[in-house]
Amino acid sequence: MNAPLNYVPRSDFKKRTFAATQDPHLRQSFRSAMDFLMAKRQAQFPDQEAFEHLRALGEEVRRYSLSRLPELLEQLEANLTRNGVKVHWAEDAEEANAIFLEISRSHGATRLIKGKSMVSEEIELNHEMAKHGVDCLESDMGEYIVQLDGEKPSHIIMPAIHKTKEQIARLFHEKVPGVDYTDSVDELIQIGRRILRENFRDAHIGVSGVNFAVAETGSLCLVENEGNGRMCTTVPPVHIAITGIEKVVEKLEHVVPLYTLLPRSATGQAITTYFNVISGPRKPGEKDGPKEVHLILLDNGRSQAYADEQLRQTLQCIRCGACMNHCPVYTRIGGHAYGTTYPGPIGEIVSPHMMGLTATHELPFASSLCGACGDVCPVKIPIPDILMRLRREASHEAEPGRPALRGQGAGRNRLVSLAFAAWRTIYSHPGLYRLYAWAASRLNFLTPKSQLGWTASRTPLIPARQTLRDRLKNRA
Amino acid sequence: MEKRTYPGKPRDVYLYATCLVDMFHPDAGMDTVALLEREGIRVHFPRDQTCCGQPAYTSGYPEEAREVARKQLDLFPLPWPVVVPSGSCGGMMRHHYPRLFADEPEARAKALALADRVFELSEFLVHVVQVKLTDRGSAETVALHTSCSARREMGTHLTGADLLAQLCNVKLEVHGHESECCGFGGTFSLKQPDISSAMAADKVAAMQATGARGFISADCGCLLNLNHTLEARKEAFRGEHLATFLCRRTGAKP
């Protein structure tokens, strides 16, 4: 099942974006998919004022939860434990995978079935388990498709959005034994369902993510459309949930505004088909449900974001994907070009904490700062501001007395620093600027014809023969 | 977008032309002066103005931006409005200066006072001057492009369209993905040329698909991006600065 990963490595961001922009098929499929999703979301928020009111509430809930994060996590652990859920803490991907492996081994489990979970993508659970002879099958249809093709999701909500139905039809025909070629979507879904049904029945452990963890009640909320999440968390004898530490809220009522915003922002649905609230394993006398439930709380760089007041806002995210749906850059390059688990604007601001700036320093610059992401964010994360902040941290070494981000200064470029130093000198000395502007206009024939990235697809910028200030002077 | 209360029409204004207009679009600056003077407003050009600081601010060099911005804070001693004929530069002064000086109470107070009287050109013409334009040109169809920050921070898509709607022989065509970024993004156009070029190519294609003769914009960065893209593609379609277009249509003489 676990094909070798054929997605791109985490280097050569420019090479990948170039390839993506030159791929008309990719461009067209993302454009039309994002147009569709933007229209669906817009239909759910017809009244801008009502939306602003609702998202202010969503922001407030997330900010409040984060302001009390340490104590809420302790409360969550205590109440989950009381409910019979075993709680584990993982510092990084390696620790999280070790916990999965340990639980699997203690049950002699070799077959895992998983509902959609981006945190499990973050730790590359499937591939880590495969190394130890544990098979982990995706049961969300989109995730199943990308797993079948040895890929990573290209979108956090719609993992296989980059694929056409013809590509999926060929993939099923080639990779699933006994499947004839069909590009009927209904037939393809039925084929997937049939295979997954058998696997739900036979799996030893079910794996899921968590959308909201409620501290006060010790409950795990799971939002989904396909019912596979419910199958994963109820049919196998053991359920392991994994989530980032930021997903906790204090009270069940705090889930209400967040759940009101999430599906509307994500898929343009007022409500999802399934909303699961999991509050512990099967109790005596109950006829179904897993006998054992585990929750793994993963840090993986989140506490670095948490430690900084501005960067902490990154953790408000409820993973709706609206920022990527509305991002003109994501629409042009798709999700894989980013080389991260989380693509798009949210990926640009969260990945530096997970992977360090050494691996991700180009990402904060992959934005025109147009602001569309910040406008649609249901919890008002000021994504453009955080991008600008990370640009600074990527371009500058840490200063004494200020905590450094992992990989701080990794994108430092002496030429760029020199250019801005020169720019500052000229533009903060009006006399010097006048001289510079006068020379640049009078000697405009000396302007270089090759101007870095600008002239890749544009004619060079040449100053006018006479500046405005000179024209105004002559006029007076 | 914030709701703003506007003052009455003043006798004097400062023109903050921006470095882009000064060096690359001086015509737009001259045409801005002509439009304002025709309304009986005296235009003052502080000669020590340079750049709003945005290039460094958005590129991860806020300290450098602050030093340049600091110099602009002292350019406007009298309480006249400051008119900016380039949307995103206006947004920088209006919305980002107070944040740039968040840790310096004295400079921040100046920045807040300045922010209060900074107006983007189309916003100023519509809401402060309450200009009434008389169209003298022949029938013409155009598209309108607004910079993302000016659109979001100052609502320039509304004021731009309002001015064009006053011209009875001008038809404004709405293009696909009109609110989407043209791919300029300041240094983004240098750092990510492939993505930026793809965005610019889509934008010019969408505007041309409307059948418009050309497009109008009051944002110099976007204008440079799109016009130089069009020139490289050897296409005749061009963008014109809003001030230049209004002068041409209404017969104002720079």
If we measure between CA atoms, which residue out of A383, A404, A413 comes closest to residue A308? A404
Burial of A170 (0-12, 13-18, 19+ CB in 10 A): middle
Residue-wise pLDDT tens digits, A12-47: 899 999 999 999 999 999 999 999 999 999 999 999
Q: Is A421 on the interface with B (CB under 8 A)?
A: yes
Establish if B3 belongs to a structural domain: no
Q: Is B37 on the interface with A (CB under 8 A)?
A: no
Residues B102 and B160 in one domain: no
pLDDT for position A3: 38
Structure tokens at A409: 């200064």
- Domain count within chain B: 2
Establish if B5 belongs to a structural domain: no
* CATH number of the domain to which B232 belongs: 3.40.50.11810
Cβ–Cβ < 8 Å for B32, B15? yes
Element (H, E) at B13: strand B12-15
Residue burial A36-57, b: 16+ Cβ < 10 Å; e: rest: ebbeebeebbeeeeebeebbeb
Return the percentage of chain B with pLDDT > 70, whole number: 99
Domain boundary among B91, B111, B128: B128
Residues B40 and B124 in one domain: yes
pLDDT for position A1: 37
Topology of domain A13-163+204-303, per CATH? Rossmann fold (3.40.50)
pLDDT for position A125: 97
Give residue B201's domain range: 132-250
Residues B31 and B123 in one domain: yes
- Restricting to A residues 328-387, those with a Cβ less than 8 Å away from any Cβ of B are 328-329, 332-333, 364-372, 375
Establish if B207 belongs to a structural domain: yes
> Mean pLDDT throughout B101-129?
97
Q: Is B191 on the interface with A (CB under 8 A)?
A: yes
Residues B35 and B48 in one domain: yes
Residues B104 and B152 in one domain: no
Establish if B42 belongs to a structural domain: yes
Give the sign of the dihedral formed by CA A439, CA A444, CA A445, CA A451. positive
Residue-wise pLDDT tens digits, B44-56: 999 999 999 999 9
Q: Is the pLDDT at A76 greater than 70, yes or no?
A: yes
Of A367, A375, A467, the CB nearest to B23: A467
Measured between beta carbons, which residues in chain B are less than 8 angstroms from residue A372? 148, 179-181
**Smallest CA–CA separation between A315 and chain B, in Å?**
22
pLDDT for position B153: 84
Establish if B192 belongs to a structural domain: yes
Q: State which amino acid sits at residue B223.
A: L
Q: Which residues contact A94 (CB under 8 A, 6 or more apart)?
A: none
Neighbour count for residue A422 (Cβ, 10 Å) = 12
Band of the pLDDT at B253, cuts 50, 70, 90?
A: confident
Structure tokens at A39: 């229209």
Burial of B75 (0-12, 13-18, 19+ CB in 10 A): middle
Dist. CA A390–CA A393, nearest whole Å: 5
Residue-wise pLDDT tens digits, A367-421: 999 999 999 999 999 999 999 999 999 999 998 888 899 999 999 999 999 999 9
Mean predicted lDDT score pLDDT of chain A: 95
Measured between beta carbons, which residues in chain A are less than 8 angstroms from residue B202? 332
Band of the pLDDT at A11, cuts 50, 70, 90?
A: low
Establish if B91 belongs to a structural domain: yes
> Mean pLDDT throughout B121-128?
97
Residues B121 and B207 in one domain: no
- CB A392 to CB B19 under 8 A? no
Q: State which amino acid sits at residue A315.
A: L
Cβ–Cβ < 8 Å for B1, A452? no
If we measure between CA atoms, which residue out of B234, B147, B217 comes closest to residue B189? B147
Domain boundary among B128, B161, B182: B128
Chain centroid offset of residue A179 CA: 33
Question: Which of A423, A465, A471 to probe the B interface (max B CBs under 10 A)?
Answer: A423
Q: Which residues contact A14 (CB under 8 A, 6 or more apart)?
A: A362, B192, B194
Q: Where in chain A is the domain with CATH 3.40.50.10420?
A: 13-163+204-303
Measured between beta carbons, which residues in chain B are less than 8 angstroms from residue A428? 50, 67-68, 70-71
Residues B118 and B36 in one domain: yes
Element (H, E) at B80: none
Residues B146 and B108 in one domain: no
Residues B150 and B173 in one domain: yes
Band of the pLDDT at A203, cuts 50, 70, 90?
A: very high
- CB A454 to CB B197 under 8 A? no
Residues B199 and B171 in one domain: yes
- Restricting to B residues 83-102, those with a Cβ less than 8 Å away from any Cβ of A are none
Domain boundary among B128, B154, B175: B128
Q: Chain A: residue nearest B25 by CA?
A: A464
Cβ–Cβ < 8 Å for B218, B85? yes
Q: Is the pLDDT at A7 greater than 90, yes or no?
A: no
Residues B106 and B53 in one domain: yes
Cβ–Cβ < 8 Å for A348, A387? yes
Cβ–Cβ < 8 Å for A200, A258? no
Q: Is A420 on the interface with B (CB under 8 A)?
A: yes
Residue-wise pLDDT tens digits, A446-464: 999 999 899 999 999 999 9
Q: Is the pLDDT at A103 greater than 50, yes or no?
A: yes
Band of the pLDDT at A6, cuts 50, 70, 90?
A: very low
pLDDT for position A476: 67
